[in-house]
Amino acid sequence: MSKEKILITGAAGFIGSHLCDRFLRDGFHVIGMDNLLTGSLNNIQHLFSLADFEFYHHDVSRFVHVPGKLDYILHFASPASPIDYLKMPIQTLKVGSLGTHNLLGLAREKRARVLIASTSEVYGDPLVHPQTEDYWGNVNPIGPRGVYDEAKRFQEAITMAYHRYHGLETRIVRIFNTYGPRMRVDDGRVLPAFFKQAILGEALSIFGDGSQTRSFCYVDDLVEGIVRLLFSDYAEPVNLGNPQEITILNFAEEILLLVGNSASKISFHPLPVDDPKQRRPDIGLARRLLNWEPRVGRSEGLALTFEYFKAVVKP
């Protein structure tokens, strides 16, 4: 019997590459697709020798064709950090709109189930804490972050339209802050920035007074949740993240302690426009629906991630 086939867009990115690993390990034939705008072939280099992996260098904002049968599609293509989507606003909007439309059309043609990667950014700077899936968000549609927030909100809307109108099998995951090996050192997110600065003995840059909060989920936990959601029968959005909340200032102190570089200090800078003050997922739905919750504690996950950054951060 032939293996089930899964298309993973954004396959050369941080989360996408870990998803490729997982589905290959689970016995699928994996087709990876990426335009390498923010992804890196280094993340999937170890897969090219495998018979059950193939790679398409392609931008999903243009027509997507995959020959033969296709059972599942995971749409993870998108710039995902502020430094990227502020630099590439049009591409960010296009991959969330045109790219999602193309992949939903492909899923309909192939009769494949499709899982769309949304984000906690759909909640904007939330007025409800922690954030539950039925909260509609507090987003500035014309602010600098709106290109990402609204692309993802549109992505959810068109996915539900395909589900309701065409009967397409769809899944939507709202991903909260995730970390682990293969994050880009210079992607502008807080964890890679802190690790790089601490390893190099530079001051850790905190924007605002550091009282804003984030909740960090280790990538292996996220991947497990995504797999469970894909094979569930639930079509509406599901939060996946770690509800253990921490202030950015305390997080910086944890990184300094872990790296052990006493030369590093903390420096404070103006807060970016529309930067969320609080971010913490309510994962009650994921617990009930998927029997899922994070297993990797922050200290364990950070230690694993530190080993990766020690190898890739060069003086």
Q: Which residue has the tokens 């089930």?
A: 4
- Whether 148 is catalytic is yes
Cis omega (within 30 of 0) for bond into 144 = no
Cα 286 from Cα 310, distance rounded (Å): 34
Any residues with CB less than 8 A from the CB of 197 and at least 6 apart, and which?
Answer: 203, 204, 205, 264
Report phi then psi at 199, rounded to 5: -65, -35
Any residues with CB less than 8 A from the CB of 145 and at least 6 apart, and which?
Answer: 82, 85, 86, 121, 273, 274
Q: Is there a contact between 133 and 190 (Cβ–Cβ < 8 Å)?
A: no
- Among the listed residues 148, 162, 179, 218, the single catalytic one is 148
- Residue 50 has a CB neighbour count (10 Å cut-off) of 12
Active site residues: 148
